[in-house]
Amino acid sequence: MRRDYSLTGAEAATAVASGLAEGHWFQAEVDLKRLSELSERSNSRAAVDTLVWVGLIIAAGVLAWNVRSTWWAVPAFLAYGALVGGAADARWHECGHGTAFRSNTLNDLVYYPACFMLARRPLFWRWSHFRHHTDTIIRGRDVEIAFQRPTTVPEALLRFTHVQGAFTMFRDTISTALGRITDVERQLMPSDDLPRMVRDARVFTSLWVAAIAAVIWTGTLWPILYIGGPTIYGGWLMVFFGITQHAGLQENVLDHRYSTRTVLMNPILRFLYLNMNYHIEHHMYPSVPYYRLRALHEEIKQQLPAPNPSTLHAYREIFTAFRHQSVDPDWEIPNREIPDVSGRRAPIVQDIAWGRAGDSIDLGPADLARGGLRPVRIDGQDFVLARTEEGSYVLADRICTHGEADMSQGVVLGCEIECPRHNGRFDLRTGQPTRKPVREPLGVQPVTESEGRLYVHGDWGLRF
C-alpha cells in the first residue's frame, strides 16, 4: 500500500505530534572558522561555470540547427535538451539557495531562466525547497519526496522519460497563470508572494504560447524543440542525478546520514550536477557553495557513512531498495554504517558573566577577523558576535527568527548575516530581513571598541 505523503493527511499530523516537523537535525562537527572559509562565495567562479554551461547550450543548439535535416540532429538535440532540461536543475538549485554567486542579483539572473527551462514556478519552488530542507523526506511535510514508497522498478524507469513529470510542471504553471491557488501553495507560501507567483506563471505560459504559435506559423516543430520541449526530452538528466539524492533511503529520521546519499562522481558529471553528488554535505551545511562541497566532504567524511564509490554503485543500491520496498515499504538498505559520533565536543562558546563596566558589558578583546562570527553567552543567554566585512562589530541574537538555526554557523556577506539553514539573510546594522524566507527581524545591538576591547551597552532592552 502506498504511504501517505500528503501535507494534510494522517502522516502530517504524526510528524508534528512526534517532533519530526521542524525538528532538530544532526550536524557533523566543523570548526566555525573553517566553516566560514568554506561558506565564502565567488562571483567569478560561478560566472565561469555559468558561461561554460550557456556556451555549451548555444553550441549544441547551433549544431542541432545546422544538422537538422540529418540523423545527426538526434544526438545534437539530445545534448541540447539535457543541458537545458537537465543541467538547469543544479543551476536552479544553487542559485535558489543564493550560494552560487556572491551577488543576489546574479543568483536571481540565473535562477529565473533555469526555472523556465524546468517549468518550475520560481516562488513556489523556492518555498517548497525551504520546506525540503526543514523536513527532508519527512512524510506529510516534505513536498519534494520524488520517489515515494513503494516505487516499483518499472515506475522508476518510466520516470526517466520525464513525460509525466514535465506534464505536471506545465499543468501546474498554466493553472497558476489562470489564477488558481491550491491548498498546498497556501500552506507553503506567505500570502504576499502569491500574486508574484501568478505573474511569473503568466510570463512563462506566454512564452510557451509564443513557441506553439511559432510552430503553427512555420509549420515545423523546431520552435518547441528549442523552447518548452527540452523540459520533457532533456529531463532524463535531472532524474538521473536526482534519484541518487534520497531514493530508497530512510524516511522520518532527523539525520541526513540516514536519509541522504553522497556519491562519488567523475568531473564531467560533477560539472553538470554542480557537485550536488555531495548531497549529505549540502543538506548539513546549505550555506557552503557547490564549489567548496568537495572540501567540506574532506572535512567531515569521518562523521558520515562511506559515500557510494560510483554512480553505478548508487544505482544498484537504489534499484535493490525499490525491488524490496515495492513488496515491503518498511524495508531499509542494510549495512549502511553510520559512524558513532557520541564523543563529539560541544561547540566552544565564549561565556560572559554579568560583569558590567559602567553601563556596558565587556565582550572581551576585539580579535574577531572581518566576516567572523563567534557564539557568546551572556548570563545564560545566547548571542552571536559578528564582524561585518567593513569591520564593525554587532551583537546579534543567536537563533534565527525563521527557525531553530544557530546563526553562529552562518556566514557574513558584507553587512549581512546569512542563516545556515535556509540561507535567509538579515542586515546586521538594522536586523531587518533581506532575503527569504526570513520575515521577522533579528535582534541586533551595536558594539563599541575601546582600547582593544569590545563593549555592548546595557540599555538595549536586555532580557536578563
- Phi, psi for residue 434 in degrees, rounded to 5: -125, -5
Is 421 an interacting residue with respect to ligand FES (CB under 6 A)? yes
- The nearest distance, CB 188 to ligand FES, in angstroms, is 13
Query: Closest approach of Cβ 392 to ligand FES, in Å?
Result: 22
Nearer Cβ to ligand FES (84/400): 400
Three-state SS annotation for 396-431: EECECCCCCCEHHHCEEECCEEECCCCCCEEECCCC
Is 419 one of the binding residues for ligand FES (CB under 6 A)? yes
* Residue 155: Cβ within 10 Å count: 14
Residue 70 DSSP symbol: S
Q: Which helix (H) or strand (E) holds 456?
A: strand 453-457
> What is the residue whose three cell numbers read 557564539?
375
The answer to whether 451 and 79 are in contact (CB under 8 A) is no
For cell 504524526, what's the residue? 14
Stretch that binds ligand FES, among 7-15, 228-236, 357-365, 418-426 (CB under 6 A): 418-426
Per CB under 6 A, does 402 bind ligand FES? Answer: yes
Q: Does 314 bind ligand FES (CB under 6 A)?
A: no
Q: State which of residues 197, 405, 428, 456 lies at the interface with ligand FES (CB under 6 A).
A: 405
Query: Which one, 156 or 405, has the nearer CB to ligand FES?
Result: 405
State the cell numbers at 67.
544538422
Question: Does 398 contact ligand FES by CB under 6 A?
Answer: no
d(CA 332, CA 320): 10
Cell triple for 393: 562589530
Q: What is the dihedral of CA 231, 237, 238, 241, to 10 degrees?
A: 180
Helix (H, G, I), strand (E, B) or coil at 360: strand
User: Does residue 422 touch ligand FES according to CB under 6 A?
Assistant: yes
339: amino acid identity, one letter: P
Per CB under 6 A, the list member of 412, 437, 442, 445 interacting with ligand FES is: 437
Binding residue count for ligand FES, defined by CB under 6 A: 10
Q: Which stretch binds ligand FES (CB under 6 A): 44-52, 169-177, 244-252, 401-409?
A: 401-409
Q: Does 443 bind ligand FES (CB under 6 A)?
A: no
Nearest to 435 by CA among 10, 96, 80: 96
Min CB(423)–ligand FES separation in Å: 7
Sign of CA dihedral 198, 200, 205, 206: positive
Q: Does 131 bind ligand FES (CB under 6 A)?
A: no
Binder among 98, 150, 223, 424 for ligand FES (CB under 6 A): 424
- Binding mask of the shown chain, residues 351 to 390, with x at each position contacting ligand FES by CB under 6 A: ----------------------------------------
- Say whether residue 96 binds ligand FES (CB under 6 A): no
Least CB distance from residue 437 to ligand FES, whole Å? 5
Burial of residue 449, with CB atoms counted within 10 A of its CB: 0-12 exposed, 13-18 middle, 19 or more buried: middle
Interface with ligand FES (CB under 6 A): 400, 402-403, 405, 419, 421-422, 424, 437-438
